[in-house]
Amino acid sequence: MSTFLDLQHVNVVRGGRTVLHDINLQVAKGEQIAILGPNGCGKSTLIKTITCELYPLAQEQTRIAIFGRPRWDLTELKRRLGVVSADLPGKPTLSITGYEAILTGFFSSSTLWPNLVATEVMRERAEEVLIQVDAVRLRDVLFGEMSAGQQRRVMIGRALAGSAECLLLDEPSNALDLLAQRDLRNLIVSLADQGTTMLHITHHIADIIPAMKRVICMKEGRIVADGPREDLLTEANLQWLFGTEVSLSERDGFFHAW
Ligand SMILES: Nc1ncnc2c1ncn2[C@@H]1O[C@H](COP(=O)(O)OP(=O)(O)OP(=O)(O)O)[C@@H](O)[C@H]1O
């Protein structure tokens, strides 16, 4: 199986402090992985390192390869990686429709600026994506008038439109109500069924869908465990990871923690 990501001995500094320590991580194309860890342990920093928004310290042993390549044109990399977070997109996105928001994925832009002309092929693909992410009803709704759950759905469509080969999901279910969380989870299940490579950061254990067979645990800037979900989604491990009492139950392959 070919490799999506290969990080070796990666250290990242932010604000003068090392926040990622000696990260070693290999991800094959087609894998679906959950990343868990307490606030501030470096999960988002890891995603930003993969998207080349942050760079590791240049050290002798450090290696970073994304889709097998150490160097990237950032526009091309942005197209091949679909990042979806809970952050509100910029102001220009708020006044475009769901359909237009999906089209912006082809240009990695925040809106359809006048110089960006969508081809017929792009338009057809955007219509397909609306169906793929079950957002046809949001086609003509202004992004700024959608609920947070609807916006997340369209943002996943935007990421997929540009033919992203890997989805990097950074706590996309934050601030969603129970129904929107479930809808988003179902969408992630269907994308996993289609073989989409995914790295999914979440604080909601129930978001770690059964297809995510590999779980990575981070603590204080380090990967402290990387293994099968059945070994790591245990009360003892989550208690140790988060430093608090955790009760866990399982139903239909989904875990619930409280
Ligand atoms: N812009 C920044 N400048 C300096 N330090 C930062 C910056 N952003 C984050 N950090 C620091 O980097 C460390 C890792 O932060 P990061 O956001 O990657 O953690 P996280 O695991 O994603 O947290 P959370 O679960 O709260 O989103 C933290 O100590 C944080 O304070």
Give the per-residue pLDDT at 174.
Answer: 84
CA distance to 16, 61, 207, 215, per residue, from 173 (Å): 31, 36, 8, 18
Give the pLDDT of residue 210.
95
- Reading the block at residue 198, the tokens are 């995914």
Predicted pLDDT at 211 = 95
* Helices vs strands, H then E, count in the chain: 9, 11
pLDDT for position 85: 85
Return the pLDDT at 140.
98
Residues 223-232: tens digit of each pLDDT: 999 999 999 9
Residue 142, pLDDT > 70, answer yes
For the record, the structure tokens of 248 come out as 């866990």
- Ligand 1 contact via 44 beta carbon (within 6 Å): yes
At residue 89, the pLDDT reads 81
Token pair 């240049």: residue: 58
- Give the strand order in the sheet containing 166-170: 81-85, 166-170, 197-201, 32-36, 214-219, 222-228
Residue among 19, 35, 36 to mutate when testing ligand 1 (max atoms within 8 A of CB)? 19
Arithmetic mean of pLDDT, 70-93: 86
- The response to whether residue 93 sits with its C-beta less than 6 Å from ligand 1 reads no
Report the pLDDT value the prediction gives residue 163, as an integer from 0 to 100: 67
- Beta bridge partners of residue 93, listed in sequence order: none
Residue 164 has pLDDT above 80, yes or no: no
Q: Are 42 and 14 in contact (CB under 8 A)?
A: no
User: Is ligand 1 within 6 A of the CB of residue 227?
Assistant: no
Q: How far apart are the C-alpha atoms of 111 and 104, rounded to whole Å?
A: 6
Tally of CB atoms within 10 A around 137: 10
Task: Give the Å distance between the CA of 81 and the centre of ligand 1.
Answer: 21
Burial of 258 (0-12, 13-18, 19+ CB in 10 A): exposed
Cβ of 202 below 6 Å from ligand 1? no
Which tens digit of pLDDT belongs to each residue from 173-214? 888 888 888 888 998 998 899 899 999 999 889 999 999 999
Give pLDDT, residue 173: 86
13: Cα separation from own chain's centroid: 22
Which residue owns the Cα nearest ligand 1 atom 7? 14
Nearest CA to ligand 1 atom 10: 14
* Closest residue CA from atom 27 of ligand 1: 39
Residue 53 pLDDT: 92
Average pLDDT, the chain: 92
Using the predicted structure, report yes or no on whether residue 1 has a pLDDT greater than 80.
no
Does ligand 1 lie within 6 Å of residue 16's CB atom?
no
Q: 191 Cβ partners below 8 Å, 6+ apart? A: 156, 160, 167, 198
Please report, as a single letter, which amino acid is at residue 77: L
Residue 40 Cα, ligand 1 centroid: separation in angstroms? 5
> Does the interface predicted TM-score (ipTM) exceed 0.85?
yes
The pLDDT of residue 109 is above 70: yes
**Confidence label for 78 from pLDDT (cuts 50, 70 and 90):** confident
Assign 216 a pLDDT band (cuts: 50, 70, 90).
very high
Q: What phi and psi, each to the nearest 5 degrees, are found at residue 149?
A: -65, -40
